[in-house]
Amino acid sequence: MCVAKKILFVVLDGAADRPTVAATTPLKAATTPFFDRLAQDGILGIMDVIAPGTPPGSDTAHLSLLGYPVDKVYTGRGPFEAAGVGIKVRPGDIAFRGNFATVKDGIVVDRRAGRIDDTKSLSDAIREQLDLDCEFLFKESAGHRAVLVLRGEGLSPKITQTDPKHVGPFLYSKPIAKDASARRTAKIVNDFTRQVSLILGNHPVNVERSRSNLLPANAVLLRGVGSVPHLVPFEKRTGLKAAVIAATALVIGIGILTGMTYIPTKGATGHIDSNIDEKVKNVNEALKRHTFVLLNIKGADEAGHDGDFNAKTHFLERVDKALSNLEIDDETLVVITADHTTPISLKEHSGDPVPFLIRGQGVRADQTSVFNEYIAATGGMDRICGRDIMPVLTDLLGKGVKFGA
């Protein structure tokens, strides 16, 4: 009997759910013959990705699933987003997520500037003209989004954000710690806001937008501030050579910051229309050169946030069909799970445990033969914590760290 050598770790983002009035969930209602076959050959369980009753963010969830102590390494989403859009962040950098927005007389009238989709020349102007009291990097991302990174000594993430998160008065950043670096960082952020409004106010793109009755993108709102953490590379911690295949900047960024190789996928949108077949082809290739592949498929989370049961169910059926083309050999352990529950009823993440399955060499297959939240709760793995899944997997590969003589 051989021992598995590789891991394919599939995260169906937000796939888990709570029962509807008809006492079902999208995973339970969906026809998923591939997942069910894996369940039959494997072992199931449920998992508190962070802790029982704690709704995880996608960022903290993925870090926890990869075995990182989130309470120690996580200060905010910005650093992962910044890495995910291609900024070479360094530990200690202060990073923010940003939105191009429309501000009028100090009021945020549209947080997405009329869903502007091309901010390249606005971002160029910011990069060329902005003059801050520290080194900075600014980069546009998908649609109305952007990231800002502040670099240098004497900076702190202990400040408030400028994004009010809804239509309303614009916010100024304030320090939330009583130290000079927090005060200085808040001052730099407010200076950023002031300069950006001057740079963008009369920018030709905005003049043209106003003429066409479109909302001008005359401000950048900042949120998700965090300090780029020191993360021990995933390969150093586990001995596994890892790749990440994902569409969302956040998950890509987590992969990059943990030292994984990012493999881009054509047509992967992070939405319900994403090209999953192309991702599967990428995974099949990646498994030839890596011993760990993290595959994130986002659509189910989006359908959960939209409160759309049918969309979530059909998406999961589409994923099951696409994943049935995975080329999984005897040397590969397959994990299927979710990073959190995104109930249709809440349209937000919840703290319910997620189902998971492990299939491959060395796994003590249990009696389950269907993959959903209910059956997983009866599986042989019982209930574990998110940070424990990687040790379970590496132990199955024969790389468990012995405790004692």
CB of 58 to Zn ion, least distance (A): 3
Within residues 167-186, the interface with Zn ion by CB under 5 A covers none
Cβ-closest residue to Zn ion? 58
The closest of 272, 235, 236, 228 to 253, measured between CA atoms, is 228
Beta strands 6-12; 168-169: pairing state: unpaired
Q: Which stretch binds Zn ion (CB under 5 A): 46-54, 158-166, 285-293, 295-303?
A: 295-303
CB of 187 to Zn ion, least distance (A): 33
Contacting Zn ion (CB under 5 A), which of 301, 320, 366, 373?
301
The closest of 168, 24, 177, 185 to 103, measured between CA atoms, is 168
Q: Judged by CB, which is closer to Zn ion: 14, or 253? A: 14
Q: Judged by CB, which is closer to Zn ion: 220, or 250? A: 250
The closest of 161, 40, 43 to 111, measured between CA atoms, is 161
- The gap between the terminal CA atoms of the chain, to the nearest Å, is 26
Contacting Zn ion (CB under 5 A), which of 13, 59, 93, 373?
13
CB of 254 to Zn ion, least distance (A): 11
CB of 296 to Zn ion, least distance (A): 8
Within residues 326-355, the interface with Zn ion by CB under 5 A covers 339
CB of 62 to Zn ion, least distance (A): 8
Q: Judged by CB, which is closer to Zn ion: 13, or 163? A: 13
| CA distances to 105, 112, 207 from 210, in Å | 16, 15, 5
Torsion of the alpha carbons at 187, 147, 16 and 369, rounded to the nearest 10: -140
CB of 347 to Zn ion, least distance (A): 9
What is the C-alpha to C-alpha distance for residues 289 and 400, in angstroms, rounded to an integer?
A: 22
User: Are 238 and 394 a contacting pair, CB within 8 Å?
Assistant: yes
Q: Judged by CB, which is closer to Zn ion: 205, or 389? A: 389
Q: Judged by CB, which is closer to Zn ion: 301, or 366? A: 301
CB of 246 to Zn ion, least distance (A): 11
User: Are 78 and 96 a contacting pair, CB within 8 Å?
Assistant: yes
Q: Identify the three-state secondary structure at position 374.
A: helix
Radius of gyration of the chain measured on its C-alpha atoms:
22
**CB within 8 A of 132, min separation 6: which ones?**
150, 188, 191, 192, 195
Q: Which stretch binds Zn ion (CB under 5 A): 172-180, 196-204, 296-304, 356-364?
A: 296-304
Residue 270 phi/psi, 5-degree rounding, is 80, 0
User: Are 371 and 42 a contacting pair, CB within 8 Å?
Assistant: no
Q: Judged by CB, which is closer to Zn ion: 218, or 258? A: 258
Q: Judged by CB, which is closer to Zn ion: 14, or 175? A: 14
What is the C-alpha to C-alpha distance for residues 291 and 288, in angstroms, rounded to an integer?
A: 8
Residue 336 phi/psi, 5-degree rounding, is -120, 125
CB of 180 to Zn ion, least distance (A): 36
Q: Identify the three-state secondary structure at position 63.
A: helix
Q: Judged by CB, which is closer to Zn ion: 13, or 140? A: 13
Alpha carbons within 13 angstroms on the beta-carbon side of residue 21 total 0
Q: Judged by CB, which is closer to Zn ion: 58, or 64? A: 58
CA angle 328, 332, 337 (to 5 degrees): 85
Within residues 270-289, the interface with Zn ion by CB under 5 A covers none
Residue 52 identity:
P
Contacting Zn ion (CB under 5 A), which of 58, 156, 185, 193?
58
Q: Which stretch binds Zn ion (CB under 5 A): 77-85, 221-229, 301-309, 314-322?
A: 301-309
CB of 73 to Zn ion, least distance (A): 18
Q: Does 81 bind Zn ion (CB under 5 A)?
A: no
CB of 59 to Zn ion, least distance (A): 8
Q: Judged by CB, which is closer to Zn ion: 188, or 252? A: 252
User: How many residues make contact with Zn ion (CB under 5 A)?
Assistant: 5
Question: What residues line the site for Zn ion (CB under 5 A)?
Answer: 13-14, 58, 301, 339
